[in-house]
Structure 1
Amino acid sequence: MAERAEEERVPLRCDVPLKQLNRIAKRAPVDIDFQDLTYSIRDSYTGKGWRHLLKSINGSFRSGELTAIMGPSGAGKSTLLNILAGYVTAGVKGSIRAEGRPRDLTTFKKLSAYIMQDDIVQPRLTVCEAVMFAARLKLGSEIQKSEKHEVVEEVIQLLGLEKCMNTRTEYLSGGQRKRLTVALELVNNPPVIFLDEPTTGLDNVAIKQCIELLHKITKHGRTVICTIHQPPASLFHYFDQVYVLAQGYCVFNGSPSQLVPFLSKASLPCPPTYTPADYIIELVQSQTDNITALSNTIQNGKINLIEKKKEETIICTKTAGIFEIQQDYTQTVTKNYDVFPISIWMQLVILLHRNFLQLKRNHSNIYIQFFHHLASGLLVGSIFFALGNDGSQTLSVFKYILSVNVFFMYTYVMVPVLTFPLEVRLMKREYFNRWYSLKAYYMCFTLSALPLMTVLSIMFLIIVYLLSSQPMDLDRFIWFSTLALAVGFCSQGLGYVIGSTFNITNGSVVGSSALAPLLALACYGMGYRSTIEPVMKVIMGLSYLRYGVVGLTITIFANREPMDCDEYYCHYRDPDLLLRDMGMLDENRPIQLYALIAFTIFFRILAYCTLKFQLTSELKNQIVYLAAKIVRQKD
């Protein structure tokens, strides 16, 4: 604890010039203006009408300044930040300009970084490794590896993370994790940085360090905009501009030092016993008259009571060497950055490197999966021990086939359902800040899961195959393993669909509920021979597990000599008789494999589309907005 406290008080380096970063990733400063900004959503309580969260507000946020968007809960702080960052677009009216020009969202996203409230970072990486992976993804391939290392060192030094460079991210304190999230977005020198509640969950020391950090970053010419509920009085002066919201209106816009005179002008003087930040929040807390008075006085943000920049700030930012005089801020995005700084294949290589490094260090996960497959293999093998060639236990062998299918179905559906939602939360930040394309990431987590899954599955299959004394035929075992793995890959795809759609709690319910009918359809009609209704055959075909059951049954029983029988009569001593009664005598083994492959491809494509919908909040918001608009027109 003492070491953590000592690390938490590492002084921030405000004098770091960032020479390498500014040389490699040149960015012109970007000012942001907005006029008559309105945002409306459908009223979820009544189902009718619209709620106006922002009401024709105005404002301007300048480069080289730290701006705090303040207000009570529900005032519209995060809404305004999401709109300015481009995270929300549907339902927005008014104009937003960057460097005096209408904001081009595609270009703007390449020049800005959005640090969300949840400071979740990639686990099982050191601070240095995490920042280096960010640099490799966000800086162009034309930049040498040594130069990227220099950039990483500069950023880590600026944020005071030197002493925890080799500390794994899961062992960082709250303040260190906040600084790391900033460092990850700083490596490509974005001129605009948005932060949603950066001080949430921090103690007083960490809050002071966080705000000091943001204040120092602005001295390198960046536009830093953050939401904050109520800053400590001792740190209020660190902000260059304060933008206060209440019930969707702007009630103050200007420097902290101008807040007291402004309140006096609005005939709401601040008592000497109050701090100005606390007093204005108390004034607008459900006080409609006060909100109207303050909003009228500031003209809903059109008036900006900000002091002139201090001369030393201008000198400091100029000496940093980052102000490239350009007529159009869009010129700061080079042709190489039209899509992503590096190709999709390079993204895949880097992401695979990161995933395999984390997988190798995740010992608990490897041990749990290993012992799960080992224990399950021994259990299933023991239950059906030495029954593989016993003609009196042919139906028990069929139950053994069902058990193998159920193992692969439940194991590889439920693991993504329980783990993937957390992965999506982390990916959401990286994807929005354009670290990589969704295609590269989707290929990465698909490929990175295959080696361990394949090895452990083969181990399970060898155990259950040998213990149950199945035919010692290499071709038969290869088909048995291939079909079982196909069931596993198909189940994993279904797990990704559920995991990308629901949170862990809802996904657990949906996952288990979806598997029950799939299992019922897989077993339906066993013993009916070929008398199953045509409609039911179509419905049964919707269960991918059915193809696994049929495929494994054919693999075990087809083309075999009569089984051993130590009793007076063994009805299913001839395996073909069982296949006939099960209606599988005319089934084709490759067809079952092709069907499983088709289901796997379908689930993977569906999971990708679902993930795309979840990550692209703009598309999701537009669909909801358009649907609500249609309903409003009908009303």
Structure 2
Amino acid sequence: MSAETSFLTPLREQPLKQLNRIAKRPPIDIEFQDLTYSVPDSSCKSGWRQLLKSVNGVFRSGELTAIMGPSGAGKSTLLNILAGYVTAGVKGSIRINNRPREMKLFNKLSSYIMQEDLIQPRLSVRESMTIAASLKLSSSIKKEEKIAVIDEVINLLGLETCYDTRSEHLSGGQRRRLSVALELVNNPPVIFLDEPTTGLDNVAIKQCIELLQKITRLDRTVICTIHQPPASLFQNFDQVYVMANGYCVYNGSPNRLVQFMSGAGCLCPPTSTPADFSEHSLLIELVQTNPENINVLQTYAQNGKCNMKDKRVKTAQYVTDSLNLNEIYQVTTQSGSTPQDIIFPTSFWTQFCILVCRMLLQMKRNQTMLNIQFFHHLISGLLIVPLEVKLLRREYFNRWYSLKAYYVALNVAALPLLLVNVLMFAVIVYTLVDLPWEPERFMWFCLLGIAISLCSQGLGYAIGAAFNILNGSVVAPHILALILALAVYGMGYKGGIEPLMKALMSTSYLRFGLVGLSGVLFNDRKPMDCNQIYCHYRNPDLIIRDMGMTDAKPPNQFIVVMGFMFFFRLISYLSLKYSMTSELRNTIVHYAAKIVRQKET
């Protein structure tokens, strides 16, 4: 049987025994009441557009819940709010096991698997799972126990046959399973999935939903958005939450949908199945073609308060109300836990070491990147723009590691290759231009080359963090063209550069690098050899003077370039933090829109 068809393996009688032993988690129910969410919209009279309109519901542990509805109904918005990915502009209450949700603790108990299969490239399934376990399980847990947990999760998801296969060689179904496996490794009681069946064929969709069913039977709360499940799989969900235009138009079991629709006065044709009636044709057509139907259905469903779900006996009980919040949101079985343990299970140093090792391994296996950088440094300097912001967003939101640990590891992992390439470039250039072999002069030539490269790398990080790839590819050349133009402006003007242009030139780190390198080339040199009758620039001091670089002292220029380097890296870190922290980003946008609206009124 192929790896693609053997999507699942039967659960053992005691599933995830090792994981449940070392990473105990309480079953969690999520309840939300009068949940409202608005975004700025100038086309609306009020200046705000409501995406959610006082919706209600309860999603319980041990159940697979599907949030359905037509495009624009508010499915992903509701999922993002329940997961904590969006918080600004949200009104209403969200409770966890009858207690107010506390985000820092809830983030440790939930995982959000986004629509795209965001998996680290150039790592095998075994390596990816080992790194995930090292980051997401406490450092106090023994290596042998972590390996046992990895084996349990791999066996549960049927990934044994591709244990040593690299992620770029996995099929679509295997990549989706690996995405789930990476988040299961720390035993989260709540799992959110955004459109998990997108891009899969009917067989893979069936296998994916069956996998989610098996996970819920481990007393997990699994909530997913789904657009069009096959009619044959509609009954596989324990609860469906149908949305339209920001309202809940049905909340309950799939097999009670016909009864609900009949009670609301919308009869289902006898030839239609409940799945056809809800998702494939009739319900979508009803809510899309006539807004009155939305009002009728959401009123009958009490906007989600009425839950027409079959009663069932829960096999496990969650923590009782008598316990305090820390006990309800228990994140570790170890004693002496600190607030940092609640946010991240491992220390900054542990995260840093693991991430550096991962990045160096990926860099070693990325032959294309190594070759490009090698030949690129033979010709010119270095500019690196990070391409894994999406992947970082997933791992950071699911609390694999802190942003500081990732960012420091990223800079440190890139440093060895940068130093080797820059020194290679410096030796080649220094030799070809026949500069005097003086230790101090050569040292400053190398230091300035390294400083310029680090500064260019920092600028690349800043652009990559602030813009997506498409916008960054447009912004970067324009910024570099301006920096380069300011760097060479005024050559031949001696000291006659205008004050305004001097101020503008001081914003170009390449200008300081160029002045420093010119000082290395021409300061304190003997008259240069010349076989002509008259050589005006035989004296190096004249060159420095006419280029307007009389202050070309390499140490001073080196300090300024390094200052630019730290500035660019600070900007890139803040940009990453802004893009990673959806709460901060949404809060800024929300309050900015409020201020604008208040000024207009």
TM-score (norm 2): 0.94
| 1:110-189 map, 5 Å | 110-189=108-187
Instruction: Name the amino acid aligned to 1:216.
Output: K
Contact 2:118 2:394 (8 Å CA) reproduced: no
| 1:301-450 map, 5 Å | 301-309=304-312, 314-315=314-315, 327-328=323-324, 330-331=326-327, 332-334=330-332, 335-336=337-338, 337-374=341-378, 376=379, 407-408=380-381, 411-412=382-383, 415-416=384-385, 420=386, 422-450=387-415
Residue by residue, what CA displacement relative to the aligned partner does 1:62-109 show, whole Å, maximum 9, x if unpaired? 000000000000000000000000111111111110000111111111
SS, match of residue 63 in structure 1: coil
Q: For residue 449 of structure 2, what is the aligned residue in structure 1?
A: 484
The CA deviation at 1:519 is 1.2
Over 3 Å counting, the alpha-carbon distance change for 1:586 and 1:102 in structure 2 is closer
Q: Give the count of matched residue pairs.
A: 585
Alignment gaps of 5+ in structure 2: none
| 1:40-59 map, 5 Å | 40-45=38-43, 49-59=47-57
Contact 1:121 1:169 (8 Å CA) reproduced: yes
Instruction: Name the amino acid aligned to 2:307.
Output: N
Contact 2:61 2:221 (8 Å CA) reproduced: yes
Q: For residue 88 of structure 2, what is the aligned residue in structure 1?
A: 90
Q: For residue 272 of structure 1, what is the aligned residue in structure 2?
A: 270
Over 3 Å counting, the alpha-carbon distance change for 1:431 and 1:286 in structure 2 is farther
Give, in whole Å, the separation in 1 of the partners of 2:560 and 2:160.
Answer: 54
Q: For residue 9 of structure 1, what is the aligned residue in structure 2?
A: 6
Q: For residue 219 of structure 2, what is the aligned residue in structure 1?
A: 221
Residue by residue, what CA displacement relative to the aligned partner does 1:142-162 show, whole Å, maximum 9, x if unpaired? 100110001011011111111
Q: For residue 398 of structure 1, what is the aligned residue in structure 2?
A: none
Give, in whole Å, the separation in 2 of the partners of 1:305 and 1:529.
Answer: 84
Contact 1:195 1:227 (8 Å CA) reproduced: yes
Contact 1:13 1:159 (8 Å CA) reproduced: no
Q: For residue 263 of structure 1, what is the aligned residue in structure 2?
A: 261
Contact 2:113 2:394 (8 Å CA) reproduced: yes
Contact 1:7 1:164 (8 Å CA) reproduced: no
Residue by residue, what CA displacement relative to the aligned partner does 1:240-295 show, whole Å, maximum 9, x if unpaired? 00000000110000011111111111111211333323232232224212111111
Whether 1:290 aligns to 2:312 is no
| 1:613-632 map, 5 Å | 613-632=578-597
Give, in whole Å, the separation in 1 of the partners of 2:256 and 2:161.
Answer: 39
Give, in whole Å, the separation in 1 of the partners of 2:468 and 2:187.
Answer: 34
Alignment gaps of 5+ in structure 1: 377-406
Over 3 Å counting, the alpha-carbon distance change for 1:161 and 1:328 in structure 2 is farther
Give, in whole Å, the separation in 2 of the partners of 1:260 and 1:293.
Answer: 15
Give, in whole Å, the separation in 1 of the partners of 2:141 and 2:79.
Answer: 32
Contact 1:7 1:163 (8 Å CA) reproduced: no
Give, in whole Å, the separation in 2 of the partners of 1:463 and 1:586.
Answer: 27
Give, in whole Å, the separation in 1 of the partners of 2:351 and 2:160.
Answer: 27
Residue by residue, what CA displacement relative to the aligned partner does 1:508-535 show, whole Å, maximum 9, x if unpaired? 1111111112111111222222232333
Q: For residue 532 of structure 1, what is the aligned residue in structure 2?
A: 497
Instruction: Name the amino acid aligned to 1:233.
Output: A
Give, in whole Å, the separation in 2 of the partners of 1:460 and 1:109.
Answer: 47
Contact 2:287 2:294 (8 Å CA) reproduced: yes
The CA deviation at 1:373 is 2.4
Whether 1:544 aligns to 2:547 is no
Contact 1:193 1:223 (8 Å CA) reproduced: yes
Contact 2:4 2:173 (8 Å CA) reproduced: no
Q: For residue 591 of structure 1, what is the aligned residue in structure 2?
A: 556
The CA deviation at 1:333 is 2.7
Match of 1:517 among 482, 492, 505: 482
Give, in whole Å, the separation in 2 of the partners of 1:531 and 1:48.
Answer: 57
Residue by residue, what CA displacement relative to the aligned partner does 1:398-442 show, whole Å, maximum 9, x if unpaired? xxxxxxxxx32xx31xx31xxx2x311100000001111100000
SS, match of residue 532 in structure 2: coil
SS, match of residue 446 in structure 1: helix
Over 3 Å counting, the alpha-carbon distance change for 1:216 and 1:329 in structure 2 is farther
Instruction: Name the amino acid aligned to 2:521.
Output: I
Instruction: Name the amino acid aligned to 2:4.
Output: E
Give, in whole Å, the separation in 1 of the partners of 2:243 and 2:542.
Answer: 78
Contact 1:75 1:246 (8 Å CA) reproduced: yes
Instruction: Name the amino acid aligned to 1:301.
Output: G
Contact 1:30 1:329 (8 Å CA) reproduced: no
The CA deviation at 1:329 is 5.7
Over 3 Å counting, the alpha-carbon distance change for 1:433 and 1:476 in structure 2 is same
Instruction: Name the amino acid aligned to 2:357.
Output: H
Match of 2:243 among 242, 245, 259: 245
The CA deviation at 1:469 is 2.2
The CA deviation at 1:561 is 1.1
Contact 2:23 2:331 (8 Å CA) reproduced: no
Q: For residue 208 of structure 1, what is the aligned residue in structure 2?
A: 206
Contact 2:104 2:343 (8 Å CA) reproduced: no
Contact 1:8 1:175 (8 Å CA) reproduced: no
Instruction: Name the amino acid aligned to 1:471.
Output: P
| 1:89-108 map, 5 Å | 89-108=87-106
Give, in whole Å, the separation in 2 of the partners of 1:23 and 1:454.
Answer: 46
Give, in whole Å, the separation in 1 of the partners of 2:192 and 2:42.
Answer: 28
SS, match of residue 249 in structure 2: strand
Instruction: Name the amino acid aligned to 1:437.
Output: S
Q: For residue 570 of structure 1, what is the aligned residue in structure 2?
A: 535
Give, in whole Å, the separation in 2 of the partners of 1:178 and 1:442.
Answer: 27
Contact 1:27 1:324 (8 Å CA) reproduced: no
Structure 1 range deviating more: 423-432 or 471-480: 471-480
Whether 1:604 aligns to 2:564 is no
Contact 2:3 2:162 (8 Å CA) reproduced: no
Give, in whole Å, the separation in 1 of the partners of 2:287 and 2:551.
Answer: 77
TM-score (norm 1): 0.89
